[in-house]
C-alpha cells in the first residue's frame, strides 16, 4: 500500500535527505510516481536544495584558508607562554605567603612562650603601677610612704592593688595634714 499526500507531507525532509527506512522509502517513491501535485512539490523542494548546493560550490576549492594553521600555532604559543608565566607568578606568591605566615606564627609563638616562662602578667604590670604612683606623688614621697610601712612598692602585684594603695595613701596624707 502506497502513501497518500497526507502521509508524506511531514516526511519530505527525510525523503530528500535519503533518511527514510524501507519500506517507507519505496512507498514514498510509489506515491510520487502516481501523484502529479506531489511530483511538482518534489521539484520545488529539489530546486530549493540545489540553490544551497550552488552556495556551497561557490566556496571554490573547498579548503579553509591556510592562515588558520599559522594563526592557531601563534595563539597556542601565546597561550602556553601566558599560562607558564601565570603559574610561575602563582608559585612565587604562594611561597612568599607561606614564608610570611611561618615567620608570623613563629614570632608569635616565641613571644608567648617567653612571656609565660619569665614573668607573669600581674608582675608585668607592677612597673606601670609604680610609674603611675610616682607621677602622682613623686618618687621621694613614695620612698617616705614606703619607709612608714604604708606602701611597699615591691609588693604591688597589679594595677588594682596599686590604685587601692594610692587611695589609701591619699587618705592618710589628708588625715596627717588635718
Partner 1 sequence: MRPENDLVRGIRNRDPGIFEEFVRRYQSQVYFTALRMVGERDDALDVAQEVFLKIWRFAPKLKGDVALKTWVYRVAVNTCIDRLRERGRHADHTARNNLILLAVPDQQMSPHEHARMAEELNRLRNALNELTERQRSVFVLRHFQNLRTGEIAEILSTPEGTIKATLYQTLQKLRGLLGTPAREISDRDESEPKSDSEIAR
**Chain positions contacting partner 1, by CB under 8 A:** 2, 4-6, 9-14, 16-17, 19, 31, 33-38, 41, 44-45, 47-49, 51-52, 54-56, 58-65, 67-69, 71-73, 75-76, 79
- Nearer of residues 52 and 174 to partner 1, judged by Cβ: 52
CB 81 to partner 1: min, Å: 14
* Residue number with CB closer to partner 1 (57 or 112): 57
Answer for the pair 166, 142: CB distance below 8 angstroms, yes or no.
Answer: no
C-beta of 2: minimal distance to partner 1 in Å? 6
Question: Is the alpha carbon torsion for 166, 172, 176, 178 positive or negative?
Answer: positive
Nearer to partner 1, 80 or 167 (CB): 80
Name residue, grid cell 596599686. 162
Give the shortest CB-17-to-partner 1 separation in angstroms: 6
Closer residue to partner 1 in complex, CB, 69/108: 69
CB of 91 to partner 1, least distance (A): 19
Classify residue 172 as exposed, middle or buried by CB count within 10 Å of its CB (0-12, 13-18, 19+): middle
Q: Residue 94 Cβ, how far from partner 1 at the closest point, in Å?
A: 21
Contact of 38 with 32, CB cutoff 8 Å: yes
Residue (49 or 108) nearer to partner 1, CB: 49
CB 22 to partner 1: min, Å: 16
Closer CB to partner 1, 64 or 135, in the complex = 64
Amino acid at each position: 500500500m502506497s502513501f497518500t499526500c497526507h502521509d508524506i507531507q511531514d516526511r519530505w525532509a527525510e525523503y530528500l535527505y535519503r533518511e527514510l527506512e524501507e519500506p517507507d522509502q519505496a512507498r514514498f517513491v510509489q506515491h510520487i510516481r502516481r501523484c502529479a501535485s506531489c511530483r511538482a512539490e518534489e521539484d520545488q523542494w529539489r530546486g530549493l536544495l540545489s540553490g544551497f548546493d550552488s552556495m556551497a560550490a561557490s566556496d571554490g576549492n573547498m579548503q579553509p584558508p591556510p592562515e588558520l594553521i599559522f594563526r592557531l600555532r601563534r595563539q597556542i604559543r601565546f597561550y602556553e607562554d601566558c599560562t607558564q608565566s601565570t603559574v610561575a607568578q602563582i608559585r612565587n606568591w604562594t611561597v612568599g605567603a607561606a614564608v610570611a605566615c611561618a615567620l608570623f606564627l613563629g614570632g608569635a609563638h616565641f613571644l608567648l612562650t617567653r612571656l609565660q616562662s619569665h614573668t607573669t602578667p600581674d608582675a608585668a604590670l607592677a612597673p606601670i603601677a609604680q610609674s603611675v604612683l610616682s607621677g602622682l606623688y613623686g618618687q621621694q614621697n613614695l620612698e617616705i610612704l614606703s619607709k612608714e610601712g604604708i606602701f611597699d612598692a615591691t609588693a604591688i602585684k597589679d594595677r588594682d592593688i596599686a590604685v587601692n594603695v594610692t587611695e589609701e595613701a591619699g587618705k592618710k596624707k589628708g588625715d596627717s595634714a588635718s
